[in-house]
Amino acid sequence: MKIAIAGGSGMIGNELMKRFKKDHHSLIVLTRNPSTDRDADGVRYVKWLDDNSEEVAHELKGVDAIINLAGRSINDGRWTKEERRSIYTSRINASNELVRIVDRMKKAPKVIVQASAIGVYHTSKTKEYHEGSSTEGREFLQIVVRDWERALEPLQQKTRVVYARLGVVLHPTEGAFPLMKLPYQLFAGGTIASGEQWVSWVHIDDVVGAFDTMLKDEALFGPVNVTAPYPVRMKQFGKAIGHALHRPHYFPVPKPLLEIVLGRKNEIITKGQCAKPRVLQRAQFHFNYPTIDSALRQLTK
C-alpha cells in the first residue's frame, strides 16, 4: 500500500512506520518541518499546514490510505487556558486541512484513519462504554475529541473514515508508562487518588496491529475503541506494576497533592473510563497482550 501519515514523528507514528517499512509499504510523512527530516528508507517527507493544500493533494496522488495522528500532546505542560486552546486547535486545524487536501485530490484514498481518544466518553467509576455509547458531555477532553471527530465528517461521503479511539498507550520507553513505573523503581509506588478510577490501557504492539487492521478491513468504519479487552482499576494497575518490578505498593498519592502539582491535568489520572473494544473483538482482532499482567511482563523485561 501507499500510506500517508500526518504526525508521524510521535510515539505511535514511529512504531507504525517501523511496521509499515517491514511490510514494504510506500510511506509519505506529512510534517511541518520537512527540512529537518530527510527522505530515507523509502519514506518521503512533505510539508503541510502551510496554506499549501493544493500542493499536498498533488503529492498524495495515488495514496491508498491516510493516517492522521497530528495534534499537540495532552501530556505537555500544565492545562493553562492557552495550553487547552493549543490542544484543541492543533487537532481541529489538522483535521480541517486534511478535509481540504482530500477535496482537492482527483481520487480520494480508500480509507482515512484518524487518531481519537476514549476521552470522548464521560468519566465514570461505574459505567462501561463501547463504540455506540453516548459522547455527550462538557468535560474538556470530551469537547476536544468530539469536535476532532466531527471535523472529519465531510469526508465520510468520499471514503471510509475510521476513528481510532485510543486508551492509555503503554510503551516501554515513551509516553505515560515510564512515568507511571518510576515511583515503583524508587520504592515509592502506591495508589493514586481513590484507586477506583478506571484505566483503559493498551500495549503499543496492539495499537500498531489495530491500525493495520483498520486499514485493511473494509468492514470497519466510524469509531473503534483501541483498548485492551480487560481494563483495570488504578489500584489494580499500580499493584500490577509493583508485581512486575518486584517492588512494594504502599505509598498513596492523594488527589489534593495531584491537583497542586498538575493543576487541571490531574483529571488524566484521577478520572477515567471503562472502555471496551467491542468493534475490534467482533472483527476477530487478536490482542497479543489482552491482560495487564501479560503487557507488563513484556514492558518490564
DSSP letter for each residue of 245-291: HT------B-HHHHHHHHGGGGHHHH---EE--HHHHHTTPPPS--S
User: Could you list the residue range(s) of the whole structural domain that residue 137 is in?
Assistant: 2-235+260-300
Residue 18 lies inside a defined structural domain of this protein: yes
Cell of 275: 472502555
- pLDDT tens for residues 6-39? 988 889 999 999 999 999 999 999 998 876 556 6
In a domain, 17, yes or no: yes
Q: In this structure, is residue 43 part of a structural domain? A: yes
Classify residue 41: in a domain, yes or no.
yes
Structural domain includes residue 44: yes
Span 68-113, pLDDT tens digits: 999 998 887 788 999 999 999 999 999 999 999 999 999 999 999 9
CA distance 39 to 34: 9
52 located within any domain: yes
**What tens-digit pLDDT sequence spans the chain (301 residues)?**
999 999 888 899 999 999 999 999 999 999 988 765 566 677 899 999 999 999 999 999 999 999 999 999 888 778 899 999 999 999 999 999 999 999 999 999 999 999 999 999 999 999 999 999 999 999 999 999 999 999 999 999 999 999 999 999 999 999 889 988 999 998 989 999 999 999 999 999 999 999 999 999 999 999 999 999 999 999 999 999 999 999 999 888 888 888 887 888 888 889 999 999 999 999 999 999 999 999 999 999 8
Say which residues have a Cβ less than 8 Å from residue 86's Cβ, sequence separation at least 6: 72
Task: Give alpha helix (H) positions in the chain.
Answer: 11-22, 53-59, 81-104, 140-150, 177-185, 204-216, 234-245, 255-262, 267-270, 278-282, 292-300
Q: Is residue 151, in this structure, part of any structural domain at all?
A: yes
Which DSSP letter does residue 182 get? H
Residue 278 vs residues 139, 148, 198, 227, 284: alpha-carbon distances, Å: 24, 22, 17, 10, 10
CATH number at residue 52: 3.40.50.720
pTM (2 decimals)?
0.94
Query: What is the Cα–Cα distance from 98 to 54, expressed in whole angstroms?
Result: 11
- All cell numbers assigned to 11: 510515539
Structural domains counted in the chain = 1
In this structure, is residue 196 part of a structural domain?
Answer: yes
Collapse the DSSP code of 222 into the 3-class scheme (helix H, G, I; strand E, B; otherwise coil) and give the result: strand
Number of residues in the chain: 301
